[in-house]
Structure 1
Amino acid sequence: MTVSYKKLSKDDATLLLVDHQSGLISLVQDFSPDDFKNNVLALADVGKFFELPTILTTSFDEGPNGPMVPEILNLFPNAPFIRRPGQINAWDNEEFVQAIKNTGRKQLIIAGVVTDVCVTFPALSAIEEGFDVFVVTDASGTFNTTVQQAAWQRMSAAGVQLMNWFSVACELHRDWRNDMEGLGTLLSNHLPNYRNLMTSYKMLQAAKK
C-alpha cells in the first residue's frame, strides 16, 4: 500500500498533550526519567515556538494518576485544559473533541502517557474521524519496549505517522532561513550535542564580522 507524504504544517497542526501526569509518568519505563522529561518539554517548546494551538488533558487527576506536570501548565497557561472525570479515551470526552474542532485544523500532533492507551486510543479515534495524526514517539511512554512496539505497530497500521520531537520541529520549520537562531536555540536547549553545532556556527559568524 502506497501512502502519500503528508507534511506537517504549522498553519494546520494542533498539539495535544495527553495525560502527562505525575502519577502516570512513574509507569514510563521505555525511556529514562531524565530523557523522557526532556523529550516532553522539548515537544512543548516546539509547540510554543511555532505558536501551535495546544490542548492539554488529564485523566481522573484527583486520583492516583495525579495532576498534570507543572512545567507544561506553566508553558501553556491559556491553553484549553480538559480535566476528564473518568473517560480513559480522551476522544470520548466531548469537551476535548470540541476544543480540537474549534481550532479548525486537521493535523493532530499527539503525545502522552501511556502510549498504548492514552495515546493510541485517541489517535485511532481521530483517524476514524478523518484527521491526519502524528504521534510523537519519544514524548510518549509506557511500561516497556514490548508494549511500546505493539502500540506503534497498531497505530502505524491504521495510518498514524510516527515521529520524534526533533523531526516534528524540522518538518514544521521547513527551511533554516525562516529562523536559524530561533530553532537552533530551541534544539540546543534540549540536545547538548546540538549546542556544539550552534557554538561552531556562532564562532564562524563572529569571524566573518
Structure 2
Amino acid sequence: MLIRAQDSILVVIDMQERLVPAMQAPARTIRNTRTLLAAAGEVGVPVLMTEQYPKGLGATVPELAMPGAVVLPKMHFSCMEDDGFAAEFRRQDRKQAVIAGMEAHICVVQTAASMIEEGYEVFVVSDATASRTLESEQACIARLNASGVGIVTTEMVVFEWLGKAGTPAFKKLLPLIK
C-alpha cells in the first residue's frame, strides 16, 4: 500500500537532548527526520512529537523544532498508552502512522505494535530511527516487519507523499533528497 499524505500523520518519538548523543548514527537520524518534517510541512501531514520524561532526558533537540508540531510529554514507552498522545493521535483522524524515533527497540516498537493492534497502517522509517546498539535496531526492524509494519526509508516516504514530479512541493523538497 502507498503512504498517502492525506491519510498520514508523522510521529517523531523522543529525539531528545540527552538521548540523541547515545544513539547509533545520530547525525543521519536527525538529518532524515528534518527531511521528513520539511516534507510533512510541505504536503500538509500533521506532526506529533513526543518527549519521554523530559525532566530527565531533556527537550527535543533544537534541530527538529517545527512550527505547528504538537509536542507531548510522556512516561509510557508506547505512545498509545499515554492518554494525552492517544487522544491527540486519534483526533487527527488519519489511518496511517509514519514513525521516526528513539529508541527503536523500546518506544518505537511498542508504539508501532499498539497502533497495529488498533488497526492503523504503520510505517517505521528505518533511516530516521535509532537505538544505542546496532543489534537492538536490527531486532526492532525484524520484529516490526514480522508483525506487518512497513519498513521504509525517508526517500520512500517523501516520494510517496509527493506522488508526482514537477509540482512546487517536489521542486522545494528535491534539494533535501539530493
TM-score norm. by structure 1 comes to: 0.80
1:142 paired residue number: 131
Match of 1:45 in 2: 38
Give, in whole Å, the separation in 1 of the partners of 2:20 and 2:127: 13
Q: Secondary structure at the match of 1:176?
A: coil
Greater relative contact order structure (CA < 8 Å, 6+ sep): 2
Q: 1:97 maps to which residue?
A: 86
Amino acid aligned to 1:176: A
| Residues 1:68 and 2:60 aligned together | yes
Identity %: 27
> Which one-letter code corresponds to 1:9 in the other structure?
R
The aligned counterpart of 2:9 is: 14
Q: 2:13·2:101 contact (CA, 8 Å) conserved in 1?
A: yes
Q: Deviations over 1:84-109 (max 9, x none)?
A: 1x222211101101111101111000
Partner in structure 1 of residue 52 of structure 2: 59
Q: Indicate yes or no: 2:104 matched with 1:111.
A: no
Q: Could you list the runs of 5+ residues in structure 1 that have no partner in the other structure? A: 1-5, 195-209
What secondary structure, in the 3-state scheme, does the structure 1 residue paired with 2:127 have? helix
* SS of corresponding position for 2:124: strand
What's the counterpart of residue 24 of structure 1?
19
Consecutive unaligned residues of structure 2, counting only runs of 5 or more, are none
Aligned residues of 2:38 and 2:173 also touching (Cα < 8 A): yes
**Residue 151 (structure 1) aligns with:** 140
Paired with 1:79 and 1:21, the residues of 2 have a C-alpha distance of 15
Q: How do residues 122-141 of structure 1 correspond to structure 2 at under 5 angstroms?
A: 122-141=111-130
State the TM-score, normalizing by the size of structure 2.
0.94
Greater gyration radius: 1
Q: Residue 162 of structure 1 aligns to a residue in which SS?
A: strand
C-alpha distance in structure 1 between counterparts of 2:27 and 2:101, whole Å: 16
Offset at 1:126? 0.2
Q: CA deviation at 1:184?
A: 3.6
Please say if 1:172 is aligned against 2:165.
no
Partners of 2:28 and 2:128 within 8 A in 1: no
- Contact 2:11–2:48 under 8 Å retained in 1: yes
Q: Over residues 1-23 of structure 1, what are the superposed CA-to-partner deviations in whole Å (9 max), with x where a residue is unaligned?
A: xxxxx111111111111101011
- 1:188 equivalent in structure 2: 175
- Higher share of residues assigned strand: 2
Deviation (angstroms), 1:187? 3.1
Residue in structure 2 matched with residue 79 of structure 1 by the alignment: 69
Partner of 1:121: 110
